[in-house]
Chain A
Amino acid sequence: MTSFLAIAVSGCNKPAGEAPNSTGPIKVGQFASLTGKEATFGTSSDEGTTMAIEEINAAGGVLGRKLQLLTEDTQSKPGEPATVVNKLIARDGVVAILGEVASSRSLEAAPICQQSKIPMISPSSTNPKVTEVGDYIFRVCFIDPFQGTVMANFATKTLNAKKVAVFTDAKSDYSKGLAKFFKEKFVANGGTITVELDYNGGDKDFKAQLTAIKAANPDAVFVPGYYTDAALICVQAKQLGLAVPFMGGDGWESEKLVEIGQDAVEGQYFSTHYHPDVGSERSKQFLQNYRRRWKDKTPDALAACAYDSVIVLAEALKRAGTTDGPKVRDALAATKNFPAVTGNITIDEHRDASKAAVILQVKDGKYKYLETVAP
């Protein structure tokens, strides 16, 4: 009976990815939060990815074949990434997976890609744990130890803050990681963390914690969360008369931050991957093409990173000369000084990209470029 079962199981166990010598388009899978709490992350990423695929196909595709993008929505919910990535790999037979923005959701999909030996490139998940899952998991953005350092130095040097309160989303790996690295650096800089409080992503009432933060009398507040929560936190802080600078990370980058936060987010700061005002020739070109493709919309960092994830993958496919998972993996790992929109990308031994960060400030409802910090 046991042996019969074993045969039955192994019979279904066809290797992941596409059959050798297939023709037709190369299938690339994408999972993104197109709806839900972090919907603008998924939408921006999807726009960047779609545009990159269209440009590559217009230029003749890769390995003589067109790229075909299959996109699945994770609804900004835990549990969904595993379901949709399993489907993309097992049913659709994609050769690579692109996604997600939120680290918790990338972390959910990464073990599946690793096990199926399908390379996964996260465009903008910054928690270090994501690529630690295995050697098939890559990213084209910086990681939180760097981002936390950037914001800690910014708080110390530019804001002249001595005492900072940290307000973390206890449900998010991204938020917890970024808070940790920020605290380490800020304390090393000679600052004090006056008070640390937590919330749960999706909460609406932050007044209890903000009242405690106000009582601790900090010079600034660091909120390493996502834009919906961050906007509500700024709104309620203003209602409580907590008038100190608020700072965040790349999770703040969304037009919704200003839409929900309005005048309460005015003057606040956050770090991210890219700003359309600065950058190379390549990023100027990207800005122009993006505006043409998406009805004059200005790309945000998540769109730029998603675009980069596609061109890095296409380049690796070319160098590998095949869509075979292990060979594409090796080619991705060998990416060196590749000129991308968000800077030159070199994949290091941890499969992360080491790149500069930019610090932005909300000014008149727009994101104003302040400075670039090199790693």
Chain B
Amino acid sequence: MTEVFQQLINGLALGAIYGLIALGYTMVYGVLRFINFAHGDVFMLGAFAGYYFAPLVNRFLPAQSYFGGALVLVLAMVVCALIGMLIEFLAYRPLRNRPKLTVLITAIGVSLFIEYTCQHAAVFGAAPRKFPDLIPATTWHIGGLVIASSQVIVLVTTLILLIALRFIVQKTKVGTAMRAVSFNEQAAVLMGVNINRIISFTFGLGSALAAAGGILYAMNYSSIEPLMGVQTGLKAFVAAVVGGIGNLPGAALGGLILGIVETFAGGIPGLSNYRDGIAFAILILILLFRPSGLLGKPQVEKV
């Protein structure tokens, strides 16, 4: 029984990170109707930003403090928000009026460009690195359960970011504009919404969440490398689809389901090697019965 709860904790921490990344996929899909495949690489850049900011922050704040960790997190989120906006400005904006397929292929190109540039020895190099300990590494023992401080931080941070995101999207002017663009781009323009600004903001917001995911992932699993975003990004994309792409709570829910299923599959002898396969198979099952995702609304095709 302890094992089940322990796996649940492991799975929740992993799923929360998937959820954070999935939010970025889902938001961009909501306003632009295309999948930003470079999103997983922004996640990786977030982890590396944390790697480089940590020693800088430690100069004036004690190493391994919660406050220092939070500062590193915020700095990485800001850097990645700028990177996300830059990617949109350079790669996607010139293609705004082209077929969606063109933009999709460009996104794959951007993703490969980031991955292979970062693997060059002059940038990060391909070798994995140890991620610095940002927060005090404590573990709490409750019964037979072991909960690491990093796992608690992952869950708490994700919750805070989700609430903040919900506030931005539902209560602020820019959030209202985002929703307007996602409903009907042309009508939004007629109402005086600056489309370019809103799309840029969406990319910034999504990339900041990916950066937060990157830092939390690196904190929890302690090593980073330039290709860490490939598999994780793919899983987060699937999480977004399962939750119902375009739907924000759906992305978070999809992430949690994926993380938990994957973790339970990983703990079964004989099946542990197929954990990704089992997770994806269950997702296919969900999509068979709910093709637009768990929380997505079925779209009626009008002729």
Within 8 A of A (CB), among B156-184: none
* With A36-B127, A232-B221: A212-B273 Cβ-Cβ less than 8 Å: no
Query: Which A residues are closer than 8 A to B by beta carbons?
Result: 35-37, 39-40, 75-76, 170, 195-200, 202, 204-205, 207-209, 211-212, 214-215, 228, 231-232, 235-236, 239-241, 256, 259-260, 262
Tell me if A212 and B272 are in contact (CB < 8 A): yes
Within 8 A of A (CB), among B258-303: 262-270, 272-273, 275-276
Query: Which B residues are closer than 8 A to A by beta carbons?
Result: 2-3, 6-7, 10-11, 14, 119, 121, 125-130, 137, 139, 141, 146, 148, 150, 217, 220-223, 225, 227-228, 262-270, 272-273, 275-276
Tell me if A35 and B223 are in contact (CB < 8 A): no
B145 to chain A, nearest CB (A): 9
Tell me if B128 and A208 are in contact (CB < 8 A): no
Q: How far is the CA of A215 from the CA of B268 in the complex (A)?
A: 11
B261 to chain A, nearest CB (A): 10
Q: How far is the CA of A259 from the CA of B146 in the complex (A)?
A: 25
Tell me if A212 and B146 are in contact (CB < 8 A): no
A331 to chain B, nearest CB (A): 37
Q: How far is the CA of A375 from the CA of B272 in the complex (A)?
A: 34
Q: How far is the CA of A204 from the CA of B276 in the complex (A)?
A: 13
B175 to chain A, nearest CB (A): 33
Tell me if B267 and A211 are in contact (CB < 8 A): yes
Tell me if B222 and A76 are in contact (CB < 8 A): no
Tell me if A35 and B128 are in contact (CB < 8 A): no
Chain A residues near B269 (CB-CB < 8 A): 195-197, 212
A sample of 17 inter-chain contacts (CB < 8 A) reads: A37-B127, A39-B127, A195-B269, A200-B273, A207-B10, A208-B266, A208-B267, A209-B266, A211-B7, A211-B267, A212-B268, A214-B3, A215-B3, A232-B222, A239-B150, A241-B139, A260-B223
Tell me if A236 and B221 are in contact (CB < 8 A): yes
A to B contact number (C-beta, < 8 Å): 104
B263 to chain A, nearest CB (A): 4
* With A35-B126, A211-B267, A235-B222: A170-B273 Cβ-Cβ less than 8 Å: yes
With most chain B CB atoms within 10 A of its CB, the pick from A40, A207, A231 is A207
Q: How far is the CA of A75 from the CA of B262 in the complex (A)?
A: 29
Q: How far is the CA of A310 from the CA of B269 in the complex (A)?
A: 43
Q: How far is the CA of A91 from the CA of B127 in the complex (A)?
A: 29
Q: How far is the CA of A271 from the CA of B145 in the complex (A)?
A: 33
Chain A residues near B223 (CB-CB < 8 A): 204, 228, 231-232, 260
Q: How far is the CA of A10 from the CA of B3 in the complex (A)?
A: 64
Chain A residues near B217 (CB-CB < 8 A): 204
Q: How far is the CA of A170 from the CA of B275 in the complex (A)?
A: 12
List 7 additional A-B contacts (Cβ < 8 Å) besides A205-B220, A208-B262, A256-B128: A199-B272, A204-B217, A209-B266, A211-B7, A239-B139, A260-B128, A260-B222
Chain A residues near B121 (CB-CB < 8 A): 35
Q: How far is the CA of A209 from the CA of B262 in the complex (A)?
A: 11
Q: Identify which of A199, A205, A256 contacts B221 (C-beta below 8 A).
A: A205
Q: How far is the CA of A35 from the CA of B130 in the complex (A)?
A: 16
A10 to chain B, nearest CB (A): 39
B280 to chain A, nearest CB (A): 14
Tell me if A37 and B128 are in contact (CB < 8 A): yes
Tell me if A208 and B273 are in contact (CB < 8 A): no
Q: How far is the CA of A215 from the CA of B223 in the complex (A)?
A: 25
Return the chain A residue nearest B274 by Cβ: A198
Q: How far is the CA of A195 from the CA of B267 in the complex (A)?
A: 10
Return the chain A residue nearest B13 by Cβ: A207
Return the chain B residue nearest A197 by Cβ: B272
* With A35-B127, A260-B130: A198-B272 Cβ-Cβ less than 8 Å: yes
Q: How far is the CA of A205 from the CA of B262 in the complex (A)?
A: 10
Q: How far is the CA of A37 from the CA of B2 in the complex (A)?
A: 34
Return the chain B residue nearest A35 by Cβ: B126
A270 to chain B, nearest CB (A): 19
Chain B residues near A256 (CB-CB < 8 A): 127-128
Q: Identify which of A195, A205, A215 contacts B2 (C-beta below 8 A).
A: A215
* With A35-B119, A200-B273: A212-B130 Cβ-Cβ less than 8 Å: no
